[in-house]
Amino acid sequence: MFESLKILLGANNQFMPHGHCYLWRPDILWAHVVADALTALAYISIPTSIAIIAWRHSHAPSISVAILFAAFIVLCGLTHLFNIYVIWNPAYELQSYIKGLTAITSVITAVVIAAKTNYFLSLIAIDESNEKLRNIYSEFKDKDHQVAQVFDAAESRELRIIELKQEINSLLKDANLPEKYQ
């Protein structure tokens, strides 16, 4: 059991570490390490954004696809981290398992996304329709506000006309003339 674990982790002397291929030249070795580390960091941080987007858009099929897509990206990141590990430790068997799992997850993700493409396009159409409805509603509110302003102005003018008629009738009464307005 312990021997199998040593082989799996590359602690045996059966293979050479990948650094030998670089002739242990620091410029080549560290260029690979830094590039793989930065790529792994990006691959591991991207699923966080995907999870937030999937959480806010609670469409059940998109959550499952987001989880699958996140797993695929995390496994890609793990592959890059293992590329760093095998520079010093010849754990090629374990690396092959990780790459195999990444490949299987990649293919499943590609197939599922291809199968769900029309669904996701319909979500875009729904979002566009909702935006159009929000714009129409906003225009309606603006028009409703304008109509209310016109109504208020007309009502104010009508009340003023009634007041003026009453004043005229009062003046006519004071002059002992008949009222003109009822």
Each residue's pLDDT, cut to its tens digit, for the chain (182 residues) gives 667 766 666 666 778 888 988 899 999 999 999 999 999 999 988 888 887 777 777 666 677 788 888 899 999 999 999 999 999 989 888 999 999 999 999 999 999 888 888 877 777 667 777 788 888 888 888 888 898 898 988 999 998 988 998 989 888 888 898 888 87
- For residues 95 and 26, is the Cβ–Cβ distance under 8 A? no
Predicted pLDDT of residue 64:
78
| Cα 29 to Cα 21: distance, rounded to the nearest angstrom | 9
Q: Can you tell me the distance from the alpha carbon of 85 to that of 19, in angstroms, rounded to the nearest whole number? A: 10
Query: In Å, what is the CA distance from 24 to each residue of 9, 27, 182?
Result: 20, 9, 109
CB 91 within 8 A of CB 125: no
